[in-house]
């Protein structure tokens, strides 16, 4: 009997479940290769539950803890939460602890922890970022994470795969963020149906690794459980650059003709810069609909929009120019590693010369933490993933989502502006 063709997500799940194959809709128990937590949803949540059970973690070497939400710890509550994380990793024997190095979804791959075929859980909704590396990674809550920490396993309903196919080539000042916002506009917040989205096509193959991370990072914005890109030479080169060489990326490919739940096709060559209006990523439309809207703040930050590739995009627009006098221009590089690269190559200086105020390598405004949240009636354009009402500050604030190209162009113009104007 011939085994049915399998998608990439099915193959990874089958390995984790100790099976030769799995079928969509089946419920299986999977062995977890890696569990990632941050300070907000991690030790402060799971520590008391572990103590109540009298339980220890199943394998400290398969746990990564990263502080990123409550930094900088500038109040008593933040300091308490960071202290809990620092003490718990010692008690639990967790050595993979990264304190103040940046946002978890960016730090994790930069440390070489991810590679094709892994089955990974993360204590944050944007954990599908790991799918850019051909890993099956998704977010879980603290109670589910407790089960993983104690047993090293989690149950899963095998997802269907939704293929998002991008043909053609992106034009100037158009990026993965625009691709993702276009998908949000087409599918809406629940179009992913908690299934696995896989990105493919010539335009995806041409993207650098961090742009693929942007696509997978935002898979939850359309309601998917995870996002995936099949590994290739770009994946291999990145993994080798972070010391994670020797992984067998060629093995982790879906079978041709494997059944799909849906197949969405886009032409990258016709894609315009996109902007999502308040208060949902699903309110995405070509930039012309919102061009001219006056802004108070331009924010380049978050795991979605402040990696080194994102900072470079902004710098390409900003070189030799300054933000408008009435605009607060804020940049929070996603990791200390990427900020150091930006400093060495001159990208950071371009941003500072344009008037950028640098914030910590943390989640900050994106997740509504810290002292820099948006104020009453403030209008902002940001490179973040979400613009839900009140998420980034006052409920009366208005947040428009866009690419780093568009955020930088809008900072200069003082209003939402098509970045292609700076590339003519």
Q: Which domains does the chain have, with CATH numbers?
A: 8-266 (3.30.499.10), 274-423 (3.30.499.10)
> For residue 2, is pLDDT > 70?
no
Residue 1 is predicted with a pLDDT of: 37
Residue 244 is predicted with a pLDDT of: 83
Residue 8 is predicted with a pLDDT of: 98
Read off the pLDDT of each residue in 299-316 and give the average, rounded to a whole number: 98
- Does residue 72 have a cis peptide bond before it, meaning omega lies within 30 degrees of 0? yes
Residue 424 is predicted with a pLDDT of: 80
> For residue 105, is pLDDT > 90?
yes
pTM above 0.85, yes or no: yes
pLDDT-based confidence at 75, cuts 50/70/90? Answer: very high
3-state secondary structure the chain: CCCCCCCHHHHHHHHHCCCCCCCCCCEEEEECCEEEEECCCCHHHHHHHHHHHCCCCCCHHHEEEEECCCCCCCCHHHHHHHHHHHHHHHHHCCCEEEECCECHHHHHHHCCCCCCCCEEEECCCCHHHHHHHCCEEEECCHHHHHHHHHHCEEEEECCCEEEEEEECCCCCCCCHHHHHHHHHHHHCCCCCCCCEEEEECHHHHCCCHHHHHHHHHCHHHHCCCEEEECCCHHHHHHHHHCCCCCCCHHHCCCCCCCCCCEEEEEEHHHCCCEEECCCCHHHEEEHHHCCCCECCEEEECHHHHCCHHHHHHHHHHHCCCCCCCCCEEEECCCEHHHHHHHHHHCHHHHHHHCCCEECCCCCHHHHCCCCCCECCCCEEEECCCCCCCCCCECCCCEEEECCHHHHHHHHHHCECCCHHHHHC
Read off the pLDDT of each residue in 357-365 and give the average, rounded to a whole number: 97
Residue 250 is predicted with a pLDDT of: 74
């Amino acid at each position: 009997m011939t085994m049915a063709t399998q998608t990439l997500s099915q193959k990874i799940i089958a390995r984790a479940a100790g099976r030769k194959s799995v079928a969509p809709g089946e419920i299986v128990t999977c062995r977890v290769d890696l569990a990632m937590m941050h300070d907000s949803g991690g030790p402060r949540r799971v520590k008391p539950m572990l103590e109540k059970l009298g339980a220890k973690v199943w394998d400290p070497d398969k746990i990564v803890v990263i502080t990123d939400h409550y930094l900088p710890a500038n109040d008593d509550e933040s300091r308490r939460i960071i202290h809990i994380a620092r003490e718990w990793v010692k008690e639990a024997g967790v050595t993979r602890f990264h304190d103040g190095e940046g946002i978890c979804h960016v730090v994790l791959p930069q440390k070489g922890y991810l590679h094709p075929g892994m089955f990974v859980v993360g204590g944050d909704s944007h954990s599908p970022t790991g799918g850019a590396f051909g890993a099956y990674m998704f977010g879980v809550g603290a109670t589910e994470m407790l089960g993983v920490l104690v047993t090293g396993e989690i149950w899963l309903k095998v997802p269907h795969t939704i293929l998002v196919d991008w043909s053609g080539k992106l034009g100037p000042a158009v990026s993965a963020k625009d691709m993702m916002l276009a998908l949000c506009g087409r599918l809406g917040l629940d179009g992913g149906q908690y299934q696995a989205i896989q990105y493919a096509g010539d335009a995806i193959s041409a993207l650098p690794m961090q742009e693929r991370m942007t696509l997978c990072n935002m898979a939850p914005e359309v309601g998917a459980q995870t996002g995936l890109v099949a590994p290739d030479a770009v994946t291999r080169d990145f993994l080798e650059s972070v010391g994670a060489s020797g992984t067998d990326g060629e093995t982790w490919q879906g079978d041709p003709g494997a059944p799909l739940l849906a197949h969405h096709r886009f032409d990258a060559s016709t894609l315009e810069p996109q902007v999502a209006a308040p208060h949902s990523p699903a309110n995405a439309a070509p930039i012309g609909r919102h061009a001219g809207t006056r802004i108070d703040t331009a924010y380049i930050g978050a795991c979605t929009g402040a990696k080194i590739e994102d900072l470079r995009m902004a710098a390409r627009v900003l070189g030799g120019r300054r933000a408008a006098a009435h605009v607060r221009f804020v940049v929070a590089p996603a990791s200390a590693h990427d900020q150091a690269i930006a400093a060495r190559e001159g990208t950071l200086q371009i941003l500072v010369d344009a008037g950028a105020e640098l914030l910590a390598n943390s989640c900050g405004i994106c997740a509504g933490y810290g002292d820099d949240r948006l104020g009453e009636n403030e209008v902002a354009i940001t490179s973040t993933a979400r613009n839900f009402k009140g998420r980034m500050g006052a409920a009366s604030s208005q947040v428009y989502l866009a690419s780093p190209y568009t955020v930088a162009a809008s900072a200069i113009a003082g209003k939402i502006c098509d970045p292609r104007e700076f590339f003519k």
